[in-house]
């Protein structure tokens, strides 16, 4: 079987499974990962014959995708902020909406100042690393409860920054005693159990600890972050959170009740409120 035939075969399987709106594209990405080719090379050499082992590996990936395994996990990469991040089943797949968090962070950090920045619940490291690429003077610390996630974050920082950003394994702030930051940014788990039940099948393949915000409203972890973060912020420091638009007002109220000021929000590409922040003054 040659490349052209394999692509048609894979696309047909994915189309029949109704797992994606772009079956040919996803079949191409899966075959690219097997053959270690770029899409342009794949299409240019579509008459090349596949070895039996290559064809078998390709079909295995296609069948996994047809069973709703996220394609990012199957190819081991996901683009975020224009950068190819390594991902696997131990981290949440970076999403375009989270770039809103990066955009807001950068708007609050000028290029000439050395800041101490914490990416709390970092996962793949995408938020902290994206900020570090744009603000090289910033001292970014990546923190996560999962040691396996931190391994991925370290690999990404080395690959994309040419250096390993400092990391610390911590259950939120538990291991961060005596540290203070000019900015704490976080895309924490914030889905309620009901919302998780309503998620697409492929989303349910992602680590539950990276999705479940706990509690009926999904805000248990965010409440803890808001409550504890003033102990880890410098005077004038900023707490920046990603959330669901349905939680935005309640989170704003929680920030206000905790003593934060200059509370604001930013909308994502769909026009939904995605990011909320507050400034801490002693």
Asked if domains 3-67 and 80-280 share a fold, the reply is no
Nearest to 211 by CA among 91, 73, 82, 42: 91
Q: What are phi and psi of 192, to 5 degrees?
A: -80, 165
Contact (CB, 8 A) for 146 and 198: no
* 25: Cβ contacts below 8 Å, ≥ 6 apart: none
Closest CA to 120 of 135, 105, 107: 105
Beta strands in 178-272 (DSSP E): 181-186, 233-242, 261-267
Band the pLDDT of 14: cuts 50, 70, 90.
very high
pLDDT(33) > 90: yes
| Full-model pTM | 0.94
Q: Give pLDDT, residue 213.
A: 87
222-233 residue pLDDT tens:
999 999 999 999
- Is a pLDDT exceeding 90 seen at residue 215? no
- Rounded CA-CA distance 31/211 in Å is 30
Of the pLDDT bands very low, low, confident and very high (cuts 50, 70, 90), residue 216 is confident
Q: What is the dihedral of CA 127, 131, 132, 134, to 10 degrees?
A: 150
Q: Parallel, antiparallel, or unpaired: how do β-strands 233-242 and 181-186 relate?
A: parallel
What is the mean pLDDT of the segment spanning 218-243?
A: 97
> For the chain, what is the mean pLDDT?
96
Do 142 and 130 contact (CB within 8 A), yes or no?
no
| CA separation for the pair 12, 66 (Å, rounded) | 10
Q: What is the residue extent of each domain of the chain?
A: 3-67, 80-280
**pLDDT at residue 67 tops 90:** yes
Q: Is the pLDDT of residue 214 over 90?
A: no
Q: Which CATH architecture has domain 80-280?
A: 3-Layer(aba) Sandwich (3.40)
CATH tag for 3-67 (out of 1.10.8.10, 3.20.20.70, 3.40.50.300, 3.10.580.10): 1.10.8.10
> How many whole angstroms separate alpha carbon 240 and alpha carbon 57?
42
pLDDT tens readout for residues 191-205? 988 888 899 999 999
- One DSSP character per residue, 224-245 reads HHHHHGGGGEEEEEEEEEE--G
pLDDT at 137 over 90: yes
Residue 246 pLDDT > 90: yes
pLDDT tens by residue, 93-126: 999 999 999 999 999 999 999 999 999 999 999 9
Find the angle CA(30)-CA(35)-CA(38) to the nearest 5 degrees.
Answer: 75
């Amino acid at each position: 079987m040659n490349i052209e035939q394999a692509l048609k075969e894979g696309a047909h399987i994915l189309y029949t499974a109704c797992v994606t709106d772009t079956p040919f594209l996803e079949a191409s990405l899966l075959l690219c990962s097997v053959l270690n080719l770029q899409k342009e090379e794949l299409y240019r050499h579509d008459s090349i014959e596949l070895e039996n082992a290559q064809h078998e590996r390709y079909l295995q990936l296609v069948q996994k995708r047809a069973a709703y395994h996220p394609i990012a996990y199957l190819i081991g990469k996901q683009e975020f902020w224009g950068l190819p991040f390594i991902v696997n089943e131990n981290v949440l797949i970076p999403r375009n909406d989270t770039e809103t968090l990066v955009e807001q962070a950068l708007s609050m950090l000028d290029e000439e100042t050395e800041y101490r920045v914490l990416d709390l619940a970092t996962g793949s490291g995408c938020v902290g690393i994206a900020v570090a690429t744009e603000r090289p003077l910033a001292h970014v610390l990546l923190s996560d409860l999962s040691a396996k996630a931190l391994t991925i974050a370290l690999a990404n920082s080395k690959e994309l920054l040419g250096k390993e950003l400092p990391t610390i394994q911590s259950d939120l702030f538990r291991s961060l005693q005596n540290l203070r930051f000019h900015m704490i940014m976080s895309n924490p788990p914030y889905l309620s159990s009901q919302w998780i039940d309503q998620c697409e099948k492929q989303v349910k393949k992602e680590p539950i600890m990276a999705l479940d915000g706990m509690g009926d409203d999904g805000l248990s972890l965010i409440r803890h972050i808001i409550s504890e973060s003033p102990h880890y912020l410098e005077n004038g420091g900023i707490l920046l959170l990603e959330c669901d638009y349905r939680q935005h007002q309640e989170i704003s109220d929680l920030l206000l009740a905790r003593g934060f000021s200059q509370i604001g929000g930013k909308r994502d590409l769909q026009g939904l409120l995605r990011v909320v922040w507050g400034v801490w003054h002693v």
